[in-house]
Amino acid sequence: MLGGPSAEREVSLRSGAAAAKALRSLGHAVHELDPRSPGWSLPPETDAVFLALHGTYGEDGTVQRQLDALGVPYTGCGAEASRVAFDKVLTKQRCVQSGVPTARFFTVDTQEAPFPKDFLPPLVVKPARQGSSVGLQFVNRVEDWAGALAEAFRFDSELLVEEKIIGRETTVGILDGQALPVVEVRPKRGSYDYQNKYTAGSTEYFCPADFDAATAGRIQAAALGAFQAVGGRDYARVDVMVQPDGLPVVLEVNTLPGMTETSLLPKAAAAVGMDFATLCQRMVELALRRNETLKMENSKTRPVAA
């Protein structure tokens, strides 16, 4: 499933096309389904659904609930974990409850909200329920506050505002309960916003990132902690800032990260010798394995006829 109705539709189409090509190269029969409008249906005898959807509908638990109702296995996190991880406020709350390091934050639900008394610039303003840095705003001066709220409120009715962490920007892929090597992200100018994410040549990536073993381990542990805090399964990608003292600060959890051959999760998998097609295959295997386990559990609890 690719495309969909969200603001990240174009990115999703690229992820889906790349995954479909990779799975076909392994001999799978692949049908590409774009759920842009309601009323879609799966082809008969679908073994599994590879979710390459990003943003609302695909990543917020909606399509997962629909597939659960159909009884069809799908790749990635379940409906509840997807709902929690897609909501940046809920994710932050889960991280705090689980002791995962994250920046101080508060929420805003009105454009008339005054600048907070107990915070100082710089701050980061994010729509609570968007991905790919859609609507991301930086408040470097108090005078920037009103304009940042106005722009971010174009994308959601609730905003997350957090202290801006100064340091190195990294991301950690999680696959089958294991943290992959750390990827460092270095935009050539500005921040790692939507434009720098998807404009070729505007950002440099380093994997494995140049950290000592102890620091890399702390970053991976924080990422895995956040993944577990939201109830993740199979795979995800966790964005982590690393402060100058080497301490990690989790930003967010992406349950359906980009899946082109140059995306960050595939880069991390390549660092441990897993090519793109093998990564896609592994994601499908995890979904199918979970489905087989569920069938076995159901057969054990089914009444036996006398």
Residues taking part in catalysis: 8, 132, 198, 237, 239, 252, 254, 258
The Cα 164–Cα 185 span in angstroms is: 16
Phi, psi of 142, rounded to the nearest 5 degrees: -55, -35
Cis peptide before 208 (omega within 30 of 0): yes
Q: CB atoms < 10 A from the CB of 137, how many?
A: 22
Report the C-alpha gap between 195 and 80 in whole angstroms.
30
Distance CA 191, CA 72 (A): 39
Q: How far is CA 247 from CA 88, 119, 225, 250, in A?
A: 21, 21, 14, 10
CA atoms of 157 and 252, how far apart (whole Å) = 19
Q: Is 306 helix (H, G, I), strand (E, B) or coil?
A: coil
Angle of CA points 99, 105, 107, to nearest 5° = 125
Contacts with 150 (C-beta within 8 Å, 6 or more apart), sequence order = 111
Enclosing H/E stretch for 138: strand 137-139
CB-based contact 201:278 (threshold 8 Å):
no
